[in-house]
Amino acid sequence: MSKKISIFTSSVFVMFISLFALPVLAFKDKIDPITPGITSVPQFLKNVLDIAIQIGIPISAFFMIWAGFLFLTAQGDPTRLTTAKRAFVWAVVGTAVIFCAWLLAMAIQNTIWQEIGGNQVP
């Protein structure tokens, strides 16, 4: 039984990764940190942060789905339910950390741009 579950989870993981890799491969414009369009450090940091968000959100979604799978396979077993609850809580905490980091970085960036009298980074 556990071999079937491990094969199932492995195949779901491979399909999940494949589905999230397709949009990355379909980008028209390559994300290159050394392009002439990036003329300042804040623009470079914004691009890096955008890439981190694009990677972090699918990963957090995967872990929430994984926690749901653990809930479904727990079948009332208290130890497995505890494991599933812990996985879900940490998935939510990770998502919150990603969003809070993004909000903090955008707030700092906008404050600095306003203080120096420049426009916001596009």
pLDDT tens-digit readout, 34-63: 555 666 666 777 777 888 888 888 999 999
Domain assignment present for 48: yes
Exposed (0-12), middle (13-18) or buried (19+): which is 95, by Cβ within 10 Å? middle
φ, ψ for residue 37, nearest 5 deg: -70, -20
Task: Give the residue numbers spanning the domain of 122.
Answer: 39-122
User: Rounded CA gap, 38 and 51, in Å?
Assistant: 15
Beta-carbon-side half-sphere exposure of residue 58 (alpha carbons within 13 Å)? 15
Domains: count for the chain? 1
pLDDT tens-digit readout, 51-103: 888 888 899 999 999 999 999 998 888 999 999 999 999 999 999 998 888 88
Domain assignment present for 22: no
